[in-house]
């Protein structure tokens, strides 16, 4: 059954930084599973969520190009650390960073499930991303999707980064107060070949806390 879309209101839901919002979909983005924290935060019951397209929680402030990049990546069986503003049933919003796992049939290689783990997006990342998303949405509304995509590609080209690297670079640029609070030590700890200097590896290391 189609669900009525809520009217967005300008009130943020503050997420528990320790918890993970998890969902699983089929290869078309139809929801097959949502964990308790997902259900808690979005406000829909499991009965309302199952079998619905994942855009049930799409926020109108999100530019289409971000989902275009997200789908390109996951259908290519790769992860993407997307920063997404989501819409709860009561019209409130919450910001997350995603981490995707693609489950494939070992014989055919076909995608059988897509898993999204989400954590609260750090405030300093939201502040930067929101400005860019507002520009993308403005271009999308006035000049169309293709123009918005061209602009985003241009912006990333100028930085010499892909989307993930850009998000990772924002993650690394924690403000002074957060550095003082030991923020960096906490989340940037290990250094591996992830472009965020270990930020996301640490960030998603406790995926199972629901
Ligand atoms: C596993 C998985 C998780 C997703 N999580 C979200 C999400 O949290 N928020 C969201 O708006 N879209 C999410 N999407 C993308 C949606 O399927 C959809 O592409 C997006 O909401 C844009 O909607 P639209 O294609 O109708 O414009 C997810 C897709 C998959 C496969």
Distance between CA atoms of residues 176 and 153, nearest Å: 30
Is 195 part of any domain? no
Q: What is the rounded CA–CA span in Å between residue 3 and residue 49?
A: 9
Instruction: Check residue 188 and give its pLDDT.
Output: 34
- Please indicate, yes or no, if residue 56 is contained in any of the structural domains: yes
Q: Is the CB of 145 under 6 A from ligand 1?
A: no
| Residue whose token pair is 């650390």 | 81
Answer yes or no: is 38 within a domain: yes
Question: Is this model's pTM higher than 0.85 or not?
Answer: yes
| Among the listed residues 91, 19, 85, 96, the one whose alpha carbon sits nearest the alpha carbon of residue 58 | 85
- Ligand 1 center to 123 CA (angstroms): 22
The predicted pLDDT at position 67 comes to 98
Cβ–ligand 1 distance for 57 under 6 Å, the answer: yes
Sign of CA pseudo-dihedral 125, 131, 137, 140: negative
With respect to residue 10, please indicate whether it lies within any of the assigned structural domains.
Answer: no
pLDDT at 139: 98
Residue 83 within a domain: yes
**Would you state the pLDDT for residue 198?**
66
Distance CA 37, CA 34 (A): 8
29 lines ligand 1 (CB under 6 A): yes
Q: How many structural domains are present in the chain?
A: 1
**Is 134 part of any domain?**
yes
Q: Choose one of 55, 84, 119, 148 to mutate for the ligand 1 pocket test, by most ligand atoms within 8 angstroms of C-beta.
A: 55
Ligand 1 pocket: which of 63, 67, 87 to mutate (most atoms within 8 A of CB): 67
Cα 67 to middle of ligand 1, angstroms: 7
Q: Is residue 201 part of a domain?
A: no
**For each successive 10 residues of the chain (210 residues), what is the average pLDDT?**
86 96 97 98 97 97 97 94 97 96 94 95 95 98 98 96 93 71 43 55 66
Tally of CB atoms within 10 A around 179: 12
Residue 79 covered by a domain: yes
The rounded distance, in Å, linking the Cα atoms of 203 and 189 is 10
Please tell me the distance between residue 102's alpha carbon and the centre of ligand 1 in angstroms. Answer: 15
Q: In 3D, which of 206, 36, 28 has the Cα closest to residue 114?
A: 28
Q: Is 54 in the pocket of ligand 1 (CB under 6 A)?
A: yes
8 A C-beta contact, residue 15 and residue 94: yes
Nearest-CA residue for ligand 1 atom 22 is 55
Tokens 């390109």 sit on residue:
72
Distance 76 CA to ligand 1 centre (A): 16
Domain housing 26:
21-188
Q: How far is the CA of 79 from the centre of ligand 1 (A)?
A: 14
Q: Kindly give the distance from the C-alpha atom of residue 153 to the centroid of ligand 1, in angstroms, as a whole number.
A: 20
CATH number of the CATH domain containing 112: 3.30.450.20
């Amino acid at each position: 059954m189609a669900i009525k879309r809520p009217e967005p209101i300008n009130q943020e839901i503050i997420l528990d930084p320790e918890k993970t919002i998890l969902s699983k979909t089929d290869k078309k983005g139809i929801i097959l599973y949502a964990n308790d924290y997902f259900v808690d935060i979005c406000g829909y019951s499991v009965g309302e969520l199952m079998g619905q397209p994942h855009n049930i929680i799409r926020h109108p402030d999100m530019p289409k190009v971000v989902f275009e990049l997200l789908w390109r990546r996951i259908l290519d069986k790769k992860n993407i650390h997307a920063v997404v503003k989501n819409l709860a049933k009561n019209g409130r919003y919450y910001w997350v960073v995603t981490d995707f796992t693609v489950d494939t049939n070992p014989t055919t290689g076909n995608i059988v499930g897509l898993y999204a783990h989400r954590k609260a997006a750090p405030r300093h990342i939201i502040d930067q991303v929101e400005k860019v998303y507002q520009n993308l949405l403005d271009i999308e509304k006035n000049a169309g999707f293709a123009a918005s995509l061209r602009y985003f590609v241009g912006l990333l080209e100028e930085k010499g980064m892909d989307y993930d690297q850009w998000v990772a670079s924002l993650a690394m640029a924690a403000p002074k107060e957060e550095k003082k609070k030991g923020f960096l030590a906490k989340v940037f700890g290990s250094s591996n070949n992830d472009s965020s200097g270990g930020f996301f590896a640490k960030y998603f290391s406790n995926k199972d806390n629901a």
